[in-house]
Amino acid sequence: NAGVTQTPKFQVLKTGQSMTLQCAQDMNHEYMSWYRQDPGMGLRLIHYSVGAGITDQGEVPNGYNVSRSTTEDFPLRLLSAAPSQTSVYFCASSYTSRAGGPIGELFFGEGSRLTVL
């Protein structure tokens, strides 16, 4: 029972570097999303997808890109890392409602802790 798998778990970047956080789920969920978690700010939605080939912006999309070529994978790309992107990133998946959002339980990965120097 893999569920939602995120890699890497830890990453240190220098300002201006790019990288991709990987997310894969094996539950055949249509809905996938990326959140960032910062102290005192809860979970903020970065980007989400309601199915392969469909992505949309969340609350804090600037500086991040996503793509959804398969149902299983939803990578998050940082194009030019900034210290403000230091955070813990969570990928989450769920079934999709008719309204195009998550329905029922969100299943989270274990998180990717990113530090940008």
Partner 1 sequence: TQLLEQSPQFLSIQEGENLTVYCNSSSVFSSLQWYRQEPGEGPVLLVTVVTGGEVKKLKRLTFQFGDARKDSSLHITAAQPGDTGLYLCAGDGRLTSGSRLTFGEGTQLTVNP
Binding site for partner 1 (CB under 8 A): 4, 35, 40-45, 48, 58-59, 90, 92, 97, 99-102, 104-106, 108-111
Considering beta carbons, is residue 14 or 42 the nearer one to partner 1?
Answer: 42
**Short-list 21, 8, 80, CA closest to 47:** 21
Considering beta carbons, is residue 35 or 116 the nearer one to partner 1?
Answer: 35
**Short-list 96, 116, 111, 97, CA closest to 34:** 111
Question: Rounded distance, CA 94 to CA 32, Å?
Answer: 7
Considering beta carbons, is residue 60 or 116 the nearer one to partner 1?
Answer: 60
Minimum distance from CB of 30 to partner 1 (Å)? 13
Minimum distance from CB of 16 to partner 1 (Å)? 29
DSSP H helical segments within the chain, as ranges? Answer: none
Minimum distance from CB of 4 to partner 1 (Å)? 7
Q: Environment class of residue 89 by beta-carbon count within 10 Å: exposed (0-12), middle (13-18) or buried (19+)? A: buried
